[in-house]
């Protein structure tokens, strides 16, 4: 017997009309919740990281102990990858950081001094290998949407929005595969002042490997 029929039978005994029973049954169905999100978090190691250099466009740096971005001009890029976790049904990504140990040199210094030294963070547009990536064959452009930035400082680089977009793009098909992140240095040029700086980060081969922290919670919160 269907759920609606059971509800109608029970309410009929109580003298409730069939139309009221249907309304009550629909209310019961509407009250049954979907999958309940249990907030949680995950800490992820990098599975690959490497810089590429325009000065040495055919050289591999995947085994180096540091990767870098710079500006003035921006002649270095870096790529990082990790296993993007599946977010539980009913949940949404609420926070994500890339924890790095590094140092920024040049000007502006520190990175949050005017006019600012930033790491622009993109979704990588294609597959790459830590042992093989070079300036000549790095994935071009970006994978989906534009860049998101944070100061080029040791500590946590915020990657919440870029990863939220990664999940959206993977779900919609705009991004065919998760390919990790592409990082590039950037600064505004203001009043004739031309920033010139470098941010060097300990790689996963070092004693202070980068770590990704991801948290999730109820959708829409």
Residues 48, 25 share a domain: no
User: How high is the pLDDT of residue 189?
Assistant: 80
Residues 89, 71 share a domain: yes
Residues 45, 85 share a domain: yes
User: How high is the pLDDT of residue 10?
Assistant: 39
Q: What 3-state DSSP class applies to 80?
A: strand
User: How high is the pLDDT of residue 150?
Assistant: 97
Polymer length in residues for the chain = 221
Per-residue pLDDT for the chain (221 aa), expressed as one digit of tens each?
Answer: 544 444 444 344 444 444 444 444 444 444 455 578 999 999 999 999 999 999 999 999 999 999 999 999 999 999 999 999 999 999 999 999 999 999 999 999 999 999 999 999 999 999 999 999 999 999 999 999 888 999 999 999 999 999 999 999 999 999 999 999 999 999 998 777 789 999 999 999 999 999 999 999 997 65
Domain hosting residue 7, numbered range: 1-32
Residues 14, 44 share a domain: no
Element housing 104 (H / E): strand 102-107
> Do 143 and 176 touch, CB atoms closer than 8 A?
no
d(CA 182, CA 121): 6
Strands 181-186 and 91-100: unpaired
User: How high is the pLDDT of residue 221?
Assistant: 52
User: How high is the pLDDT of residue 4?
Assistant: 46
Angstrom CA distances, 187 to 76, 143, 155, 160, stand at 14, 22, 19, 21
Residues 120, 207 share a domain: yes
Residues 194, 87 share a domain: yes
Element housing 190 (H / E): none
Residues 45, 26 share a domain: no
Q: What 3-state DSSP class applies to 195?
A: coil
Residues 119, 86 share a domain: yes
Residues 121, 48 share a domain: yes
Residues 49, 1 share a domain: no
Say what angle helices 18-31 and 3-13 make with each other, to 10 degrees.
130
How many domains, in total, are found in the chain? 2
Residues 163, 74 share a domain: yes
Residues 64, 2 share a domain: no
Helix, strand, coil tally for the chain in percent (to 5): 15, 35, 50
């Amino acid at each position: 017997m269907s759920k609606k029929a059971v509800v109608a039978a029970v309410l009929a005994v109580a003298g409730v009309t069939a139309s009221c029973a249907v309304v009550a049954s629909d209310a019961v169905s509407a009250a049954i919740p979907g999958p309940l999100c249990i907030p949680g978090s995950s800490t992820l190691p990098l599975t690959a990281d490497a810089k590429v250099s325009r000065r040495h466009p055919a050289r591999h740096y995947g085994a180096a102990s540091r990767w870098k971005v710079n500006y003035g001009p921006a002649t270095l890029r870096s790529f990082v990858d990790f296993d993007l976790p599946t977010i539980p049904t009913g949940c949404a990504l609420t926070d994500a950081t890339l924890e790095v140990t590094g140092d920024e040199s040049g000007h502006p210094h520190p990175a949050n001094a005017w006019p600012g030294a930033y790491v622009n963070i993109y979704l990588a547009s294609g597959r790459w290998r830590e042992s093989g990536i070079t300036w000549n064959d790095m994935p071009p452009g970006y994978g989906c949407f534009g860049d998101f930035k944070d100061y080029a400082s040791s500590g946590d680089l915020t990657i919440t929005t870029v990863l939220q977009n990664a999940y959206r793009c993977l779900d919609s098909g705009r991004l065919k595969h998760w390919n990790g992140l592409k990082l590039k240095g950037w600064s505004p040029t203001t009043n004739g002042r031309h920033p010139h700086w470098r941010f060097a980060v300990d790689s996963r081969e070092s004693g202070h490997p980068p770590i990704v922290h991801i948290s999730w919670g109820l959708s829409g919160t």
